[in-house]
Structure 1
Amino acid sequence: MVLWTSLLAIAGLASSARALIRFPCSQLVTERFDPLVTPGVVSPHLHQIIGGNAFNLTMDPSLDLPNLATCTTCRFKENKSNYWTAVMYFKHPNGSYIRVPQIENAFVGLPHGGMTVYYIQPPTNEKVTAFPKGFRMITGDPMRRSRPALDPTSPEAWSLTFRCWESKDFGDPSNSFPPGGGPYDTFELPKKKCPGGIRSNTFFPSCWDGKNTDTPDHSSHVSFMQGTVNPNAGIILMDGACPSTHPVRIPMVFLETVWDTPKFHDVWPTDGSQPLVLSMGDPTGFGHHGDYLFGWEGDALQRAMDNCVDIFGQPETCRDQGGLTLQTDEEMNSCSKSVQVEEVTEGTYLKELPGCNPVQYGPASATLIPDSQCAAVSTTIPLAIATAT
């Protein structure tokens, strides 16, 4: 959690900031599934998934996720949405790979890994419209291996970053700037040891065309707000305007993932090389991306946006003001799914990354390895698994 007093002061929003909700979600499953980009087949790379247990290989927009899910890994019981991002690996000097564990964020309790989720409103009285049934979107591009050619002052250019914590102390200066802003965040993976670990910051667009719940590229129906970013404040509480093509203000979904990289400092390379790699074979971090699939019950999210007016985002406030139901850590952590792709992805050093993902440094975009050249578990999944619930 950021130091909100500093954040508000930096952003100049102490008197105008409206509201957000902030809550943990423990890990549901780690799997090579991506029902948005590769529905019906095993994804080329590994994802860590949180949220409702209706998550599956194929998720038709017509599905009633809140009723299909019997539990959720998120703090609010009404939130059966799913969120997923790539997994981080550490490359040992001997060339093998091991998953970097995810650990809990500050002030969220004791979830099992997972992420911290934010739904952020603009610091104005502008109406925020909750997502409709069937809504989904992505942010970022897993094939990138260089910083995209965007206006460096635009919100989109600041939407995907990494925070290098200089200490595990919550009061450390490296935790005193908003996520995505300040001198401790980078657009690429940090190129040094981070004594407090690394936090991934994943922002989604906050403007919608008001018509499409999805598009073939899973991104054209949404847009980042417009405006000039304050480098010290980032976009978390930025008062930007939606473009005319996407006039409907939706909650800005933001994910924080904390990676326990100090666990590997004793075997960190001594030649100055950067040993971290994302699961799609990305050692740069520019392929950092995230997926969102809406699944809140009824009008629960709209109630939260209308009534949870706590700038600190504490779940208890939304319980009292928005009528939402809180789960305990034990309830969140007990919700999980069994892995359906029979392959080893974590807990031991691996000869290669799961799937067919050679490390590709760029700066050109990465390329996929054809299935015919892939010795990993097939990316064509049996129908029995594809239709399992």
Structure 2
Amino acid sequence: MSCPGRLVRERLDPVVNPGGISSHVHTIFGGSAFGLLMDYDQTQQSKCSSCTIKEDLSNQYTPQLYYRAENGSFITVPVVGNGDDSDAGMAVYYLQRPGPGEKVENLLAFPSGFRMLTGNMWKRNFTGGLDAKAVSFNCVGVNQPETNAMPNYSCPHGLRAQIFFPICWNGQDLDSPDHRSHMSYFNGTEYNTGVCPSTHPKHMISLFYEVLYDTNRFKYMWYDVPGRPAGSHPFVFSTGDATRYGFHADFVNGWDIDVLQRATTNCTSESGVVADCHEVTEFSYDECNACKLPPVVDEKVNGWLNALLGCNPVTYGPAQAQPVNCPTTPISAPVKNYVDFTTSRGWRYAGCASDRIVDRTLSGRQTYAADMTIKKCIGFCSGPGTAYAYAGVEYGKECFCGNQPFDASRAAQPGIYGNCAMKCTGNETETCGGPSALSLYQKCSGSCENYVFEQFP
């Protein structure tokens, strides 16, 4: 299953830090009901998902990878294929791995309310054991074997981080105090195949994450890291982990349980393609990319940072990293990606609509400006002799005007934040759409008080 869109990137972790702020930044995927606190009923309130399967409203997240510059500053490493870092992607695999003498139909779906964590954020050396083997890196485009540490050479087609969750459940607990103990890897020496131990006898479907980081974009920016051997890589996870041994992942189950069980039993095509599984239906990639949440932790996450958020020092081990004291960062109201002109100008925000270059949603007049603002675009669309009902701003600087009817499938959907995240070229405090996404404003007919767009789920 592909997760082409990034739901949000911030310091939230409802598994480990419910109701509070995580010690490090996560990149979060899945259902739009994600929040500070999560239970199964909340997952089912999602209006969309950044992953493709509609019946799966789970949330998946991993620590963010950063490039550490020679001057000590940090910037996020995007995934391959998304150079401007406006989105992120990961692949989630649901694998039927029955043990010797077992049948696929005996594998269990995750129950409602189930959640788990795998990996240890504090680890900074290879400790052996199946949990350590279950985390690996693949340098794509280089004829080298997979490694358990982050490799010290550039990866032409990206660095793929891989993590395999434990498969065996104790059959009783939906979670545990450490979020791991209710699950176990197999008996024996293989983390992804075998027989479940007697303490955890319930064999579930296997869960595996992949994230392909575009580390190659920094290939000309390597330098001799102070205190490290020549040629050492300049990358670090948001936990401060420069080894990778502390890579970890979280899962909050939001599946329609019956659908997941049928898919586990029946979707055995060798192709592994979701379209070949007739038990599920899919969102389009555009729908996944439009499924976003505004951050609620009041801090800058993207762009160049002077330090890792959460006060995490860069550590190389081999000793385990230790928790650090850090000032508490406040939680704020969700950040609005629109300007409220209902009172001052009589226009209301109508959501983040989609657009196409060859067939514009708003087909009236258009302009662009290096100093574009929402006010400027509304003024352009409502001037003398140009009384359009809609004004839309796209790609930071492009303004479009139009009237109804336009394709209803392009209209903003209540409760969906949309792919409007680009700053206006004339005012960086305002949002002016995005790639093929319109920050759409509608002229009120009568009082604007009657027009309220439900932006958030």
**TM-score, normalised by the number of residues in structure 1:** 0.79
Distance (Å, rounded) in 2 between the aligned partners of 1:94 and 1:265: 17
* Other-structure match for 2:341: none
Amino acid at match of 1:342: D
Structure showing greater Rg: 2
Contact 1:209–1:248 (8 Å) recurs in 2: yes
* Other-structure match for 2:299: 343
Instruction: Say if 2:4 is the partner of 1:48.
Output: no
* Other-structure match for 2:165: 204
Instruction: Say if 2:266 is the partner of 1:312.
Output: no
Contact 2:107–2:205 (8 Å) recurs in 1: yes
Distance (Å, rounded) in 2 between the aligned partners of 1:312 and 1:90: 35
**Aligned-residue offset at 1:158:** 1.8
* Other-structure match for 1:120: 95
Matching residue within 262, 268, 271 for 1:303: 262
Contact 1:140–1:160 (8 Å) recurs in 2: yes
Contact 1:103–1:112 (8 Å) recurs in 2: no
* Other-structure match for 1:333: 289
Instruction: Say if 2:334 is the partner of 1:357.
Output: no
TM-align CA RMSD = 2.1
SS of the residue corresponding to residue 7 of structure 2 reads strand
* Other-structure match for 1:136: 115
Distance (Å, rounded) in 2 between the aligned partners of 1:25 and 1:363: 35
Contact 2:44–2:254 (8 Å) recurs in 1: no
Contact 1:213–1:221 (8 Å) recurs in 2: yes
**Aligned-residue offset at 1:262:** 0.7
User: Which whole-Å deviations, capped at 9, do the CAs of 1:146-166 have from their partners, x for residues lacking one?
Assistant: 11243xxxx433210111123
* Other-structure match for 1:216: 177
Aligned length: 324
* Other-structure match for 1:179: none
How has the CA–CA distance of structure 1 residues 248 and 74 changed in structure 2, closer, same or farther, with 3 Å as cutoff? same
* Other-structure match for 1:292: 251
Contact 2:160–2:213 (8 Å) recurs in 1: yes
How has the CA–CA distance of structure 1 residues 83 and 132 changed in structure 2, closer, same or farther, with 3 Å as cutoff? same
Instruction: Say if 2:42 is the partner of 1:86.
Output: no
- Higher RCO by CA contacts (8 Å cutoff, separation 6 or greater): 1
How has the CA–CA distance of structure 1 residues 96 and 66 changed in structure 2, closer, same or farther, with 3 Å as cutoff? closer
Distance (Å, rounded) in 2 between the aligned partners of 1:366 and 1:261: 24
**Aligned-residue offset at 1:275:** 0.5
Amino acid at match of 1:254: F
Trace 1:145-294 onto structure 2 (pairs within 5 A): 145-150=124-129, 155-166=130-141, 174=143, 183-229=144-190, 238-270=192-224, 271-294=230-253
* Other-structure match for 1:15: none
Distance (Å, rounded) in 1 between the aligned partners of 2:159 and 2:257: 36
Amino acid at match of 1:160: V
Distance (Å, rounded) in 1 between the aligned partners of 2:292 and 2:251: 18
**TM-score, normalised by the number of residues in structure 2:** 0.67
Contact 1:279–1:357 (8 Å) recurs in 2: yes
Contact 2:3–2:288 (8 Å) recurs in 1: no
> Structure 2: which 5+ runs fail to align?
225-229, 335-455
Identity %, equivalent residues: 41
> Structure 1: which 5+ runs fail to align?
1-21, 106-110, 168-173, 175-182, 230-234
Amino acid at match of 2:284: T
